[in-house]
Chains A and B, each alone.
Chain A
Amino acid sequence: DSGVTQTPKHLITATGQRVTLRCSPRSGDLSVYWYQQSLDQGLQFLIQYYNGEERAKGNILERFSAQQFPDLHSELNLSSLELGDSALYFCASSVAGTGNQPQHFGDGTRLSIL
């Protein structure tokens, strides 16, 4: 058990809808990362927050947004969903925002767009 909790585990919705994915980091970790994993694109970094502030941005679409709350949990919002957004979405956390600390991953949310 990594200590990172993601909810829900599965999400099925339709095109054009909006969903929110939730992540609780490991106790003591200040940094949260979001990734998208699909068969054709591999593991893609989306965005990182550190202690409530956005730290780094990757290949995140404008339809997607995220935030980290004062209690350090994070939410990833996906809107105007398209079929191509179907993927596994992972959250990871680490103690610090940079450097040599490993990231610890949750078990992901599997998003299916019908």
Chain B
Amino acid sequence: AQSVAQPEDQVNVAEGNPLTVKCTYSVSGNPYLFWYVQYPNRGLQFLLKYITGDNLVKGSYGFEAEFNKSQTSFHLKKPSALVSDSALYFCAVRDSDSGNTPLVFGKGTRLSVIA
């Protein structure tokens, strides 16, 4: 079975400070990992993915994520937060060996960037 956890419902950070949104996962094989962002009244928007290779993945809008196999984590990071980054962030995982099993999404973390 595959699962993903986002341990924080809410993250608050001051504008200009670095931000981290946490994600841990569980799969039996190798993971495909994704981050999505959702702004109010909009659908989820793809930010970045880890499939294989370099553990540091760079994505849209200055976001990056670090894959850590030993800690089964895939935390989302940004060096300097903007007020416009305030949104709901979802981590998702799929086991690469799971055949037709669809993506499993975390419950989401609400990020608030305060000016």
**What CA separation (Å) do A76 and B7 show in the bound complex?**
32
Interface centre among A4, A92, A100, A107 (most CB of B within 10 A): A100
What is the interface size of chain B, counting residues whose CB is below 8 A from a CB of the partner? Answer: 24
Q: Which residues of B contact A74 (CB under 8 A)?
A: none
**Distance to closest chain A CB from B91 (angstroms):** 11
A2 to B, closest residue via Cβ: B43
Q: Do residues B102 and A45 form an inter-chain contact, with CB atoms below 8 A?
A: yes
Query: 4 closest Cβ contacts across the A-B interface?
Result: A105-B43, A102-B46, A100-B51, A105-B44
Q: Do residues A108 and B43 form an inter-chain contact, with CB atoms below 8 A?
A: yes
Main secondary structure of the interface of B (DSSP, over half): loop
Q: Which residues of B contact A43 (CB under 8 A)?
A: 44, 90, 105, 107-108
Pick from B36, B43, B102: contact of A58, CB below 8 A.
B102
In the complex, A103 has a CB within 8 A of chain B:
yes
Q: Do residues B101 and A105 form an inter-chain contact, with CB atoms below 8 A?
A: no
Given contact pairs A90-B44, A105-B44, enumerate 13 new A-B contacts (beta carbons under 8 Å).
Answer: A33-B102, A42-B106, A42-B107, A48-B102, A56-B100, A56-B102, A92-B44, A99-B96, A100-B49, A100-B96, A103-B103, A106-B43, A108-B42
Q: Which residues of B contact A105 (CB under 8 A)?
A: 36, 43-45
Q: Do residues A107 and B42 form an inter-chain contact, with CB atoms below 8 A?
A: yes
In the complex, A97 has a CB within 8 A of chain B:
yes
**What CA separation (Å) do A47 and B73 show in the bound complex?**
27
**Distance to closest chain B CB from A75 (angstroms):** 18
B48 to A, closest residue via Cβ: A102
**Distance to closest chain A CB from B61 (angstroms):** 15
Interchain residue pairs with CB less than 8 A apart (9):
A2-B45, A43-B105, A45-B102, A45-B103, A56-B101, A102-B49, A103-B44, A105-B36, A105-B44
Q: Do residues B43 and A4 form an inter-chain contact, with CB atoms below 8 A?
A: yes
In the complex, B74 has a CB within 8 A of chain A:
no
B44 to A, closest residue via Cβ: A105
B51 to A, closest residue via Cβ: A100
Interface centre among B49, B51, B105, B108 (most CB of A within 10 A): B105
User: What per-residue 1/0 map shows which CB atoms of B87-115 lie under 8 Å from chain A?
Assistant: 00010001010011111111110000000
